[in-house]
Structure 1
Amino acid sequence: MTSLTSASLAQQLAQTTCHPVLPKEFQFGIGLIVDLSATSDIWGKVTAGHSFADEIKRQAQVIQAKVEIGRYAEERTIYQDTDNFSDSQARTMHIGIDLGVPTHTPVFAPLDGKIFGFADHQTQGDYGPTIILCHQLDGLVFHTLYGHLSRDSLADLFIGKSIQQGEQFARIGASNENGGWASHLHLQIIQDMGNHTDDYPGVIDPAQADYYLNNCPNPNLILKRTDLK
């Protein structure tokens, strides 16, 4: 096994055909790219009876979007009112990609892999049911994390279980089981898991961006949407 640099992994993934993580009509369909940064126009449309999630759904309906996309490396302030971030107010940079799709949408393995870890993180604002796969590309080892899954996605799993490219291994969870969020998939690439086994930060302090953006490169290397950087 060979240690990775962000550049070498990006080069490998750019040249690799990945199976869609979601059904093609979602992964490659019309997408609403959502801006949740502090200066976004979306906050001017939020009221006591109309949340930012409601506004995202409204905007998606206008353009008939099949998927709502939360951006990689975006700084957000939506986390600080949740229990999971109550003691980490500086964590505002999102280092995965969010894909807003209906509850129970199937999730497929982009590449051959094995179960590295899984858990049900039920603190409000956390991942909810989470699965991490370990992959190898020409001897290079890296991981993919899937957050906000359905609870039944964790059934019959064990560490080291083989998951074939294109195999459905999970489903998208509902709000009452996914950490309290609108239904979506949080997808993240992780090179070095460090001491983490069934979890990894998906939102980090921007002061640590150099390390984390290198260790967690853009998941669009797997998704391959042309409207994302």
Structure 2
Amino acid sequence: MTSTSFLQFVTNLGKQSLHVLDANISKSDYIALDLSVTNEKLKTVAVSSSEKLGNYIDTHIAENHAKVAFGGYLETRGIYNRSEYFNDQNPATERNIHLGLDLWIAAETPIYTPLDGEVHSFQNNTNFGDYGPTIILKHTIENVEFYTLYGHVSLISISTLTVGQQFTKGAQIATLGDATVNGDYPPHLHFQIIKDIQDYKGDYPGVSSQNDVAFYTQNCPDPNLLLQLK
């Protein structure tokens, strides 16, 4: 399947009512969040501190009378500069372009699969600034095989999983982790679509360099095509 065909396939799936958080949370309770380097407000926030970044996000949610903040696909961010895992000081190869959709909400929030799927792999990615506990589901729909990744979940979420374990659409697969396990971020879900998982297991790049972003844009389309948030 070509990248264009896959994009249309994902778009068509998004016409269903799909969710990764509680379906009772109305779409009107989601508020967009800008964590890009062009956001002037962030220049006064110590984004290297999970507590201070969390306070900024919580205030944004409260001021907008929302329950969840979301966004980040293809957003160039400065919050990865604190970690050598992402930052190599070369503008062309530094990884700072976000490839998933982030959903910012409290730790222990339940996470659900938006589609029928099975556990492809899982792992605790413990690099500073990394995903922490991560689950990857494999989906086969209309003979199309693809994957979804759930990063920054709790340790208990991966403690009893088995490869090949089946989940039906809408089933709870995890809960969110906190800063002690999730790479030292405010609690949030990193949700990503992956067309070709390559040889990865329990992990897949969620942040790209400028050099690689053309490939990842094709292989990891906007997750909001599935969720259809504002």
Unaligned runs of 5+ in 1: none
Larger mean CA deviation between 115-124 and 21-30 belongs to 21-30
Work out whether residues 29 and 66 of structure 1, in 8 Å CA contact, stay in contact via their aligned partners in 2.
Answer: no
Residue 93 of structure 1 deviates from its aligned partner by 0.4
Work out whether residues 45 and 55 of structure 1, in 8 Å CA contact, stay in contact via their aligned partners in 2.
Answer: no
Work out whether residues 100 and 190 of structure 2, in 8 Å CA contact, stay in contact via their aligned partners in 1.
Answer: yes
CA 1:158–1:212 in 2, change beyond 3 Å: closer, same or farther? same
Larger mean CA deviation between 69-78 and 6-15 belongs to 6-15
In 1, the alpha carbon distance for the partners of 2:84 and 2:44 equals: 25
Match of 2:202 in 1: 198
Match of 1:77 in 2: 78
Residue 134 of structure 1 deviates from its aligned partner by 0.4
Work out whether residues 104 and 188 of structure 2, in 8 Å CA contact, stay in contact via their aligned partners in 1.
Answer: yes
TM-score normalised over the length of structure 1: 0.90
Match of 1:207 in 2: 211
CA 1:26–1:91 in 2, change beyond 3 Å: closer, same or farther? farther
TM-score normalised over the length of structure 2: 0.89
Residue 70 of structure 1 deviates from its aligned partner by 2.8
CA 1:47–1:177 in 2, change beyond 3 Å: closer, same or farther? closer
Match of 2:108 among 95, 104, 117: 104
Q: Are positions 1:158 and 2:157 aligned together?
A: no
Match of 2:20 in 1: 21
CA 1:25–1:42 in 2, change beyond 3 Å: closer, same or farther? farther
Q: Work out the number of aligned pairs and report it.
A: 223
Where does structure 1 differ by over 6 angstroms across 4 or more consecutive aligned residues? none
Match of 2:33 in 1: 34
In 1, the alpha carbon distance for the partners of 2:171 and 2:30 equals: 24
Work out whether residues 21 and 27 of structure 1, in 8 Å CA contact, stay in contact via their aligned partners in 2.
Answer: no
Matched position secondary structure for 2:95: coil
Work out whether residues 53 and 186 of structure 2, in 8 Å CA contact, stay in contact via their aligned partners in 1.
Answer: no
Match of 2:96 in 1: 92
Work out whether residues 105 and 187 of structure 2, in 8 Å CA contact, stay in contact via their aligned partners in 1.
Answer: yes
Q: Could you give the per-residue CA deviations for residues 24-70 of structure 1, whole angstroms, max 9, x where no partner exists?
A: 34472423322222221222432599833322221221111211113
CA 1:182–1:164 in 2, change beyond 3 Å: closer, same or farther? same
RMSD: 2.0
Residue 12 of structure 1 deviates from its aligned partner by 2.1
Q: Are positions 1:145 and 2:149 aligned together?
A: yes
In 1, the alpha carbon distance for the partners of 2:208 and 2:43 equals: 26
Alignment-mate amino acid for residue 21 of structure 1: V
Match of 2:66 in 1: 65
In 2, the alpha carbon distance for the partners of 1:163 and 1:132 equals: 12
Q: Could you give the per-residue CA deviations for residues 148-173 of structure 1, whole angstroms, max 9, x where no partner exists?
A: 00111002211111111111111111
In 1, the alpha carbon distance for the partners of 2:163 and 2:125 equals: 17
Match of 2:122 in 1: 118
In 2, the alpha carbon distance for the partners of 1:73 and 1:47 equals: 22
In 1, the alpha carbon distance for the partners of 2:105 and 2:166 equals: 26
CA 1:219–1:47 in 2, change beyond 3 Å: closer, same or farther? closer
Match of 1:8 in 2: 5
Q: Equivalences for 1:49-64 in 2 at 5 Å?
A: 51-64=52-65
